[in-house]
Amino acid sequence: MEYVSSDMKLLPYGMMNFEDIRLDNYYYVDKTSFIPLIERSDRYFFFIRPRRFGKSLTLNMLQHYYDVRTRDKFDALFGDLYIGKHPTDDRNSYLVLYLNFSGINGELHNYRSGLDAHCGITFENFCKIYAEYLPQDTLEGLCAANGAVEQLDFLYQVCARAGQKIYLFIDEYDHFTNAILSDANSLHRYTEETHKEGYLRAFFNKVKAGTYSSIKRCFITGVSPVTMDDLTSGFNIGTNYSLSSKFNEMMGFTEAEVREMLAYYSTKISFNHTIDELIG
């Protein structure tokens, strides 16, 4: 049996939790140098990439960087990375609100209830984990609000009164609308929901309203710009950086990064091919 070095970093295939990767000796390709670039860009950042491209891990890394609750873990998580050596003033200064639409059912007759359910659970958890930063009756007030739109309205206003700022992350914002679009019979209903007074449009209208209050930054990812384009003024303050050359390497791996990774593993295990052969 071939010997494998006991200190060899593991490959984090399919992993999306930045803290687990960093603290449990997994190999991590440092993408933190993009944090200052993101901060110098528009505050409401929209970025699309294909599935399995590292979007969720990127968002999770950013959450750990900006979350007030991870301040005491900063050195362990980021100390030897680019941003650990060049931190920005905004590090660990936000209440992080993370929404993941990938689990919301895409059928039109029940997607509203799915959105309400996901947001309700997430908002309630937000109130609990940030209880020390918010008024004591915040959770009670949230539960009295009806549905995702009203609850988001309540939440950002409470944070504003408490002097707290929110960094809003929405992962796979278009997951359930893409499912709707795949059904030709639902196209007219899709249009109704993303235009006029549709529920999805109303939700993003509320996100937009929150940016005038305590939602200071947004980072939204998906696989297609179609839904965001159709929402039009529902969230017309967002800037699409998907085709910006300066962010090309923010997700995924460059050839240089793959070569560096192969060079690392070649010192830990025996390869039957050269790095050039593996790349080729």
Going by their DSSP bridges, the two strands 44-48 and 215-222 should be labelled as: parallel
Can you tell me the distance from the alpha carbon of 200 to that of 170, in angstroms, rounded to the nearest whole number?
A: 13
Domain ranges of the chain: 30-252
Task: State the sign of the Cα–Cα–Cα–Cα dihedral 193, 195, 200, 202.
Answer: negative
Can you tell me the distance from the alpha carbon of 76 to that of 247, in angstroms, rounded to the nearest whole number?
A: 26
- The pLDDT value recorded for residue 206 is 92
- The pLDDT value recorded for residue 64 is 98
- The pLDDT value recorded for residue 229 is 63
- The pLDDT value recorded for residue 1 is 43
- The pLDDT value recorded for residue 184 is 63
Digits of tens for pLDDT over the chain (280 positions)?
Answer: 455 556 899 888 888 999 999 999 999 999 999 999 999 999 999 998 877 778 999 999 999 999 999 999 999 999 999 999 999 999 999 999 999 988 776 565 667 888 899 999 999 999 999 999 999 999 999 999 999 999 999 999 999 999 999 999 999 888 777 766 666 666 666 666 665 667 888 888 899 999 999 999 999 998 777 666 666 555 667 888 999 999 999 998 889 999 999 999 888 888 888 888 888 7
> Angle 147-161/199-210 helices, nearest 10 degrees?
0
CATH of domain 30-252: 3.40.50
Which residues in 58-91 are b (16+ Cβ under 10 Å) and which e? bbbbbbbbbbbebeebbeebbeebebbeebeebb
Q: Tokens 């209830």 — which residue?
A: 113
Length of the chain: 280
